[in-house]
Structure 1
Amino acid sequence: MTPTIQTYTGRLFSLARPCAADVHIDDVLIPLTRLCRFTGHTLESSWTVAQHTLLCDDLRAPDTDPQTRLAILLHDAAEAYIGDISRPLKALLGPAVRNVEAQVAAAIFKAFDADEVFLDEGEIKRVDDLALVTEKAMLLADSPEWPGLPRDTTRSCIALSRVSKLPCVFTELANRLVETMKAAECSPLPTLGL
């Protein structure tokens, strides 16, 4: 059996040979609105990868260039095809899972016409870590600090509160993605259905 999954839209997507032509916007956004962060261990309700993505976007620097903003919006998009794998499990599984994730991410970035943009990886890591520590503080049971993460989450807690009250996470994420693609002068491919 080949490592292929069937997506929301009925397409077959190869995890061994991910291809941009097999990426569809609904196959990315809909699963991200359904996938729970922290393997579902939040205290009250589920917190999805899509909500995390919107929080990261809200935490970016106001002068972030459109290409980096697009990368922030897509930084966890591969999880639509491979699931949300926690950082500790990724570390345990080693390079094989990171390689699959990187190949899937590359296909998604290419599909969104973002494969050759300059990425400010420092800004992406900064907002991802800030979102992670904020989510930990507001959504998980009290526990010791996680090493290597930022400590001041005042501004980001306000942003998390805003994101948690959005009426339709899918629509908000889709709108931000399209707006950013236009600002980055990306040409959406027909397979994205834009």
Structure 2
Amino acid sequence: MGTEFTGSWLATSRGGMWSIESPQESQVYLEDIAAGLSRTCRYAGQISEEVTFYSVAEHSVIMTSHAHRSGLIRTRSEALCYLLHDGSEAFFGDMPTPMKALIPQFRVYEDLAQSVIFSAFGLGPDMVARIKPDLKRIDTRVRIDEREVMICEPALSAGREALWRQDPSLKPLGITPALLEPNLARQVYLEAFAWALDALPDDLGAPRAVRDAGRYLAERGVAPKLPDFTPSHAKEASCMPEFSPC
């Protein structure tokens, strides 16, 4: 394992080192990302007492699953953009958005880490920019579904109203999070990654991080699967009056 880093660094699940100030593509490994995202709780862990855990890994798979069902994911690069869109949180955790606004330097390091992770998997800035508008909208919409399950009042209504002030047309995705514990969330994340590498047309070639990910998944016999988080009895999101703004 490499020990290349400059200045402050963080230990990774593999025993490697992640440079906070000067991350390199050689420091990017799927197993570290899966470990960090599956053990990081969304909403800074401030979820209702009835909900034990909700990981960034599960959130990423939910978004990928919805985008694929919606026809927005057709190639390997598009799937990896969704699965890795919060990749930096594997190392830095899920800092709440209001905190990021108060600590601008944190966002600098987070954006740098995210850029390096994307690049390591062959996802260039033009490719990411093309996918970003749809990805951001799904990321915003899924918060309505997530918060309904795990945020209590009055914060639930306040957060919903804040989203609608930004965009009154927002609708939930109509999904139900499985609320997987970390080990299961990690498995589901790895299975979704294996699905992206196995089932979709390869428009990336073989960047080092992709080659290593494929080898890692094959060695562990990870089956390629992409779950569907939409309940069979669920109404279409556009027909859910309880989510309509007043």
TM-score normalised by L of structure 1 = 0.86
Identity rate, percent: 21
What letter corresponds to residue 191 of structure 2 in structure 1? Answer: N
Q: Matched residue of 2:87: which SS?
A: coil
Tell me how far apart the structure 2 counterparts of residues 124 and 35 of structure 1 sit (CA, whole Å): 20
Structure 1: which 5+ runs fail to align?
none
* SS, match of residue 176 in structure 2: helix
User: Which residue of the partner structure matches residue 185 of structure 1?
Assistant: 203
Output aligned runs, 1:120-131, within 5 Å.
Answer: 120-131=131-142
Q: Which amino acid aligns with 1:14?
A: S
> Distance in 2 between the 1:174 and 1:188 partners?
18
Residue 89 of structure 2 is matched in structure 1 by: 79
| Contact in 1 for aligned 2:122/2:207 (Cα 8 Å) | yes
Between stretches 140-149 and 128-137, larger displacement belongs to: 140-149
Equivalent position of 1:56 in the other structure: 63
Tell me by how many angstroms 1:151 deviates: 4.5
Please state whether the residue corresponding to 1:164 is helix, strand or coil. coil
* Separation of aligned partners in 2, 1:59 and 1:117: 23
CA pair 69-49 structure 1, distance change in 2 beyond 3 A? same
1:141 aligned partner: 152
Task: Say if 1:21 and 1:191, in contact at 8 Å, map to a contact too.
Answer: no
Please tell me the root mean square deviation across aligned C-alpha atoms, in Å: 2.3
| Aligned equivalent of 2:127, options 109, 112, 118 | 118
CA contact (8 A) 2:55 2:180 kept: no
Look up the match of 2:12: 7
CA positional deviation for 1:146: 2.3
Q: Does 1:47 align with 2:54?
A: yes
Q: Report SS of the residue matched to 2:162.
A: coil
Give the match for residue 21 of structure 2: 16
In 2: Cα distance, 1:152 partner to 1:170 partner: 28
Aligned partner letter, 1:47: Y
2:111 matched to 1:102? yes
- Cα distance, 1:83 vs. partner? 1.2
Matched length: 189
Q: Distance in 2 between matches of 1:181 and 1:188?
A: 12
Assess if the C-alpha contact under 8 Å between 1:23 and 1:111 holds in 2: yes
Structure 1 residues 32-84: Cα deviation after superposition (integer angstroms, max 9, x where no partner): 11101111111121111111111211222224332233211111011111111
Any stretches of 5+ residues in structure 2 without a counterpart?
1-5, 217-246
Would the aligned equivalents of 1:16 and 1:100 in 2 still touch at CA under 8 Å? yes
Structure 2 residue 176 is the aligned partner of structure 1 residue 160? yes
Partners in 2 of 1:181 and 1:26 — Cα distance? 15
Q: Find the aligned partners of 1:191 and 1:165 in 2 and give their Cα distance.
A: 26
Which amino acid counterpart does residue 19 of structure 1 have in structure 2? Q
Q: Secondary structure at the match of 1:118?
A: helix
* CA offsets 1:85-134 (integer angstroms, 9 cap, x no match): 1111111112x222211111121112222235623111110111011222
Question: CA separation in 2, counterparts of 1:180 and 1:117?
Answer: 20
Q: How far off is 1:175 after superposition?
A: 2.1
Higher relative contact order (CA 8 A, sep 6+): 1
